[in-house]
Amino acid sequence: MSTPTPTRSPDAGPAPAAPGPLAQVARSAASARMPTLAVAALLVITLAASVVLQPDFFSPYSLSASFATFLPVATIAAAQTIIVLGGGIDLSIGTIVTLASAVSVVLMDGDNSRLPLALAAGLATGAACGLVNGLVVAGLRLQPIVATFATSSVFGGLALLVLPQPGGTASPALTQTFGMVLALYIPIPAVLLLALWLAWRLLRQHRFGQYLYAVGGNADAAYTSAVPVSSVRVFSYVAGGTVAALAGVALLADSGAGDPTLGTELTLGSIAALVIGGTRLKGGSGGVGGALVGAIVLSLIQSLVFFAGVPTDAREFVYGCIIIAAIALAGLLTARSGVRRPAFTRGKAGTR
Amino acid sequence: MNVDTARPGAGAPGAPEQAPAPARTPLALRLARDPVVISGSVAVLLWVAAALVSPEFASWGQFVTLMTVASFLGVIAIGQTLVIIAGGEGIDLSVGATATLSAIVASRFMAGSDEGILTAVLLALGACCVVGVVNAVGVLVFRVPPLVMTLGMIAVVTGFIRLYTGGRPEGSAAPMLRTLVAGDTVAGIPGVLWLWLGLSVLVVWLLRRSPFGWRLYAVGANPTTAYLSGVNTSVVKFSAYVLSSLFAGVGGLLLLGYSQNVYTSLGTDYMLNSVAAAVIGGTALVGGVGGYVGTAIGAILLTVLDSLLRIMQIGGGEWGDAPRQIIYGVVLVIVLTAYGRQKRLRQ
C-alpha cells in the first residue's frame, strides 16, 4: 500500500483501498491511506448507531434485509468506480441499470425456465451500453460528463420503450434465491457482495487492473509506456456497464419488479458512494473495496435517519446534510494526505 | 502544465487555452472550426427543419415562445458557464435544485399578488446565495470535487424544499412576474427576452472587459500562474459559485412566471442541460476556455431541438416520451462530435 503521494508515475497504481491478505493486515493498517481509515471509521460509527437504534440489527432476518438493500447500491458503486479509476465518469450508469433490469424482467416474465436467457440478455444489454459509452468517450474523444449525459438520455428512453411503466414480474427462483439465508446466518446477498469484491481483487491482479490505474493516473505517461490507452478506456466502460447490469439484476431480485424511472438517483448515489470510499474522482487512485463500504455506509445512514425517528418531511434534508458532511470529511482527508503544499495547489495535488 | 495532464474529464493534456490558431489559417476555415459558429448554424438548420415540418413554426409568435423557453435555460446556464470557466473541474449540478428552491420560496411570499414581490424576490435570491456559499465553501475549504459537492447539495436542497413545503408547494406567481415573462411589453417582445439580452450583455462584458472576467479566465486556465500573478484564486472561484446559484435563482423566478405554479421538479431538467448548453457553445470543461455567447446559442439549439422533436409528434402516442429522449441523446452526441472533442493522445 503506497500512500497517494502526488507522483506522476503510472505505477503508483498498486494502492488498493481494500486490505490485502490477512497476514498483511497489520502492515496495511499502518500504511493505509487516510480515506480508507475515514471510511472504516464511518462504517464503525454507522454500524454502532444502527445496533443501538435497532437492537435486532444482527438477527438473521434483519441482516438479510439489510444486505438485500446494500447489494444493488454497492454493485452500482463498484461499476462506477471501475470507470472512474480509468479516468472517466459515467452519468448514464443509473439508466444502464434500469435498462438492463427492464430487459431482464420483460424477458423472464415470471417464468423460471426463462431465467438464464433473461439474465444473459440483461448482462449483454449492460455490456452493449458500456461499449457505446466507451466508443463515444474513447473513440469520438468526447468529454465523459457530457457524452454520458447524452447517452443516458438514449438509454433512459430505451428503458421506457422496453418497460413503459414500473412493473413486470421477476422469476420466483431469482427472488427466492436472493432472499435465502445460508448456514442460518449468512444471507445470499452478502455472499454475492463478497464474490463481487473477490472478482475485483482478481481484476486488480490482472494486467488490465494495472492498466486501469495507469490510464486513470496519467493517460499520456501510460500511452508512452505502451499501454493501449483507448482500449483500456473502452474496456473500463464495458466492464462498468456489465457490472451495472448485475446491479440491475440484483435490484430486480430485491424488489421483484422492474422500474424504468430510477436512473438519475442511482447515478448520484454511486458517485457519492465512491467518493466516500476514497476513490479520487480524477482517476488512478482508490478502489472498489472502498466504494463497496461507502455504499454500505450510505445505505446505513439512510435507514438510520428512518429509525432515529426524524419527522417524514425532514428525512431527506437530514440525510442530505449527513451525506454532505461525510463527503466533506472524505474530501478533507484526501486533501490532507498529500504532501504539504501551498494552500492554492493543495487541492490540485490530486491531479498529478 | 502538469496540473492539466491527468484530468480525466478532459484526459487531454496540454494547453488550457486553445492552441492559438496560426495566423495563416484562412478566415473561412477558422469560422468553420469556431464552436459558436457551428452551434449557431446547427440551431438555424434545426429551426429551418422545424419550419419545413410545420410551417407555423416560422411564425413570429412561435419564435417568441421558443426564445422565451430558451431564455430559462439561457439564464440558468450563465452561472454554469462562469463556474466551468473558473476551472478546477468546476461544474455546478445543483443549479436545477437551486432554481426550484428560488421558485418555491418566491411563490410562497408572492402568493399571487404584487405586494410582496420585492421581499419575495430578495428572499428567493438570498436563499440561492446561501446554496452558492455552501457549494463554494465545500469546494474551496473542504476540497470536495465540485461535481460531488454540487451533487450532494442537490440532496440537501431538495430535502430542504421538502421540509419547507411539506411536499405541497403553496402560492403562485405575482401578476407582475407573469407580465414580465408571458406579457407583451416592448416592441412585441416579452420583457423576459429583454432581460435575457440585458443579462447576456452584462455577462459578456463581465467576462471580456472587466478585471473579474480576466481573473476568471486566468484562474481557469492555470491556477498556479494566476496565483503567482497576484490573483486571489479563492475569491474568484467563490464568486463564481455564488453567481452560479444566483443566476440559477433568477432562472427559477422566470420559470415561476412562466408556469405560474410551482412543483418540486420544476428545475430538474436544467441540471445537465445547462452543462450541455455551455459545452455545445464551446466552453471546455477543463476551464479557462469559452464564453457566454456560445452558451446562449447552445441553449437556443437545445430548445429548438426539443421543440422540433415535439412537433414531429415523436413522443406522445403509444410510445410515450421515449423516442424523443433517444433522438435527443443521439443528436447531442452528434453535435458534440462536431467539435467538442478532446485532443489525440499522440501529439
Tell me, letter by letter, the H, E, C secondary structure of B283-310.
CCCCCCCCCHHHHHHHHHHHHHHHHHHH
The answer to whether residue B317 scores a pLDDT higher than 80 is no
Average confidence (pLDDT) over B72-86? 92
Q: What pLDDT score does B342 carry?
A: 66
Shortest CA distance from B6: residue in chain A: A218
Asked if A143's CB is within 8 angstroms of B332's CB, the reply is: no
* Rounded-to-integer distance, Cα A148 and Cα A153, Å: 9
Asked if B329's CB is within 8 angstroms of A144's CB, the reply is: no
- Please, how many CA atoms are within 13 Å of residue B31, restricted to the half-sphere of its CB? 6
Asked if B342's CB is within 8 angstroms of A271's CB, the reply is: no
Confidence of residue B3 (pLDDT cuts 50, 70, 90): very low
Q: Nearest to residue B82, comparing CAs of B252, B316, B328, B247?
A: B247
Residue written as grid cell 454507522 = A46
Residues contacting residue B334 through CB under 8 Å, at least 6 positions apart: none
State the best of B83, B345, B347 to mutate against chain A, taking most chain A CBs within 10 Å: B345
* Rounded-to-integer distance, Cα A288 and Cα A91, Å: 18
Closest in A143, A151, A346 to B9, CB measured: A143
Closest in B4, B166, B337 to A140, CB measured: B337
Asked if A323's CB is within 8 angstroms of B155's CB, the reply is: yes
DSSP-derived 3-state class of residue A182: strand
**Long-range CB contacts for residues B52-61, cutoff 8 Å, separation at least 24:** B53/B308, B53/B311, B53/B312, B54/B311, B57/B307, B57/B311, B60/B188
Residue written as grid cell 445512514 = A301
Confidence of residue B75 (pLDDT cuts 50, 70, 90): very high
**A149 neighbourhood in chain B, CB within 8 Å:** 272, 275-276, 332
Q: Write the CA distances from A322 to A49, A298, A300, A316, B117, integer angstroms.
A: 14, 9, 12, 10, 34
* Rounded-to-integer distance, Cα A99 and Cα A90, Å: 15
State the cell numbers at B82: 462562469
Q: Write the CA distances from B168 to A310, A317, A318, B8, B261, integer angstroms.
A: 19, 16, 19, 41, 11
Asked if A142's CB is within 8 angstroms of B342's CB, the reply is: yes
The per-residue pLDDT string of chain A (352 residues; one tens digit each, 9 = 90 and over) reads 444 444 444 444 444 444 455 555 555 555 555 667 778 888 888 888 888 887 777 777 788 888 888 888 999 999 999 999 988 899 899 999 999 998 988 888 777 788 888 889 999 999 999 999 999 998 888 888 888 988 988 998 898 888 887 777 777 777 777 777 777 778 888 888 889 999 988 888 888 888 999 998 888 888 888 888 889 999 999 999 999 999 998 888 888 777 777 777 788 888 888 888 888 888 888 888 888 998 999 888 888 888 887 888 888 888 888 888 888 877 676 655 443 333 444 344 434 3
**B154 neighbourhood in chain A, CB within 8 Å:** 268, 320
Residue A26: exposure state from Cβ atoms within 10 A (0-12, 13-18, ≥19) = exposed
Q: Nearest to residue A100, comparing CAs of A287, A266, A275?
A: A266
Q: Position B122: which residue type?
A: L
Element (H, E) at A186: strand A186-187
Treating both helix axes as pointing N-terminal to C-terminal, what angle do B60-85 and B292-311 enclose, rounded to 10 degrees? 140
Minimal CA separation from A253 to chain B, in Å: 25
**A314 neighbourhood in chain B, CB within 8 Å:** 159, 162-163
* Rounded-to-integer distance, Cα B347 and Cα A223, Å: 11
Residue written as grid cell 434545426 = B46
Which of residues B183 and B265 earns the better pLDDT score?
A: B265
Q: Nearest to residue A309, comparing CAs of A52, A59, A24?
A: A52
- Whether the ipTM is more than 0.85: the answer is no
Q: Write the CA distances from B215 to B69, B130, B204, B218, integer angstroms.
A: 32, 23, 14, 5
Percent helix, percent strand, percent coil in chain A, to nearest 5: 75, 0, 25
Shortest CA distance from B93: residue in chain A: A268
Q: Is A169 left (phi over 0), alpha (psi -120 to 50) or beta?
A: beta
Element (H, E) at B30: helix B27-33
DSSP-derived 3-state class of residue A290: helix
State the best of A220, A225, A266, A306 to mutate against chain B, taking most chain B CBs within 10 Å: A220
* Rounded-to-integer distance, Cα A219 and Cα A341, Å: 24
Average pLDDT in chain B: 81
Which DSSP symbol is given to B343? P
**A154 neighbourhood in chain B, CB within 8 Å:** 325-326, 329-330
Which DSSP symbol is given to B344? P
Asked if A164's CB is within 8 angstroms of B156's CB, the reply is: no
Size of interface A-B (CB pairs under 8 A): 228
Q: What pLDDT score does B78 carry?
A: 92
Q: Write the CA distances from B61 to A260, B58, B102, B184, integer angstroms.
A: 37, 8, 28, 11
pTM for the predicted model, two decimal places:
0.81
Q: What pLDDT score does A344 carry?
A: 41
Average confidence (pLDDT) over B337-341? 68
Residues contacting residue B214 through CB under 8 Å, at least 6 positions apart: none
Minimal CA separation from A308 to chain B, in Å: 17
**In chain B, % of residues over pLDDT 90:** 21
* Rounded-to-integer distance, Cα B240 and Cα B234, Å: 10
Minimal CA separation from A12 to chain B, in Å: 14
Q: What pLDDT score does A339 carry?
A: 37
Residues contacting residue B314 through CB under 8 Å, at least 6 positions apart: B323, B324, B327
Element (H, E) at A246: helix A229-255
Q: What pLDDT score does A21 carry?
A: 58
Average confidence (pLDDT) over B72-91? 90
Confidence of residue B314 (pLDDT cuts 50, 70, 90): low
* Rounded-to-integer distance, Cα A104 and Cα A123, Å: 9
* Rounded-to-integer distance, Cα B323 and Cα B273, Å: 18
Q: Write the CA distances from B112 to B115, B207, B235, integer angstroms.
A: 9, 37, 38
Q: Nearest to residue A16, comparing CAs of A294, A213, A193, A191?
A: A213
Q: What pLDDT score does B14 carry?
A: 40
Q: Position A157: which residue type?
A: G
Contact between B217 and B85 under an 8 Å Cβ cutoff? The reply is yes
Asked if A223's CB is within 8 angstroms of B13's CB, the reply is: no
Shortest CA distance from A334: residue in chain B: B143
DSSP-derived 3-state class of residue A173: helix
Shortest CA distance from B347: residue in chain A: A220
Asked if A153's CB is within 8 angstroms of B156's CB, the reply is: no
Minimal CA separation from A85 to chain B, in Å: 9
